[in-house]
Structure 1
């Protein structure tokens, strides 16, 4: 499952697990509104998946994309996609 969500009972946050299968990739980075569009490396696992977890405030939608070996890629399991005039392409959206 590429994106999973776990809502925290103790505070208004959701733990999001970003999981991108990319067996042939050497490096995957996550960029989005939640990190000021600064690339953050995902950890590569033996099964070829790249993963990271973030706690994000709830009641908001966040735009994001992956950089897979320097190439932009959307998440196939995103909650939605939103056009980005700057990039001339869609961004993935996760809603929490």
Structure 2
């Protein structure tokens, strides 16, 4: 798993690239979070030949976002390289936190 941040000089935007290689064979992975209202269809990741899922999302700078990966619409998992973790009472679990 990994996160790559690329800040734009011309706009207050950070291009965040999410990448995850699920342990088990997966057919689809999405990144869901506070930036897309936890919508599993908003940011699907593309499957690469090596089994890694990857995608880029433009996020507004100087903000924090909570997120998780959704694997095959059933398994939520956190990012090991997240900036922090935050408890979510609604889910009864921790979410990954991304600071941009």
1:46 aligns with 49
Which 5+ residue runs of structure 2 have no aligned equivalent? Answer: none
Select which of 65, 86, 90 maps to 1:86: 90
- Equivalent positions of 1:1-96 (< 5 A) are 2-22=2-22, 24-39=25-40, 40-69=43-72, 70-96=74-100
Which 5+ residue runs of structure 1 have no aligned equivalent? Answer: none
Indicate conservation of the 8 Å contact 1:2/1:21, yes or no. Answer: no
Aligned length: 96
Show structure 1 runs of 4+ deviating over 2 A.
none
What TM-score do the two structures reach when normalised by structure 2? 0.90
**Which one has the bigger strand percentage?**
1
What displacement does 1:62 show? 0.3
What displacement does 1:29 show? 1.3
When the two chains are superposed, the root-mean-square deviation of aligned CA atoms in Å is: 1.2
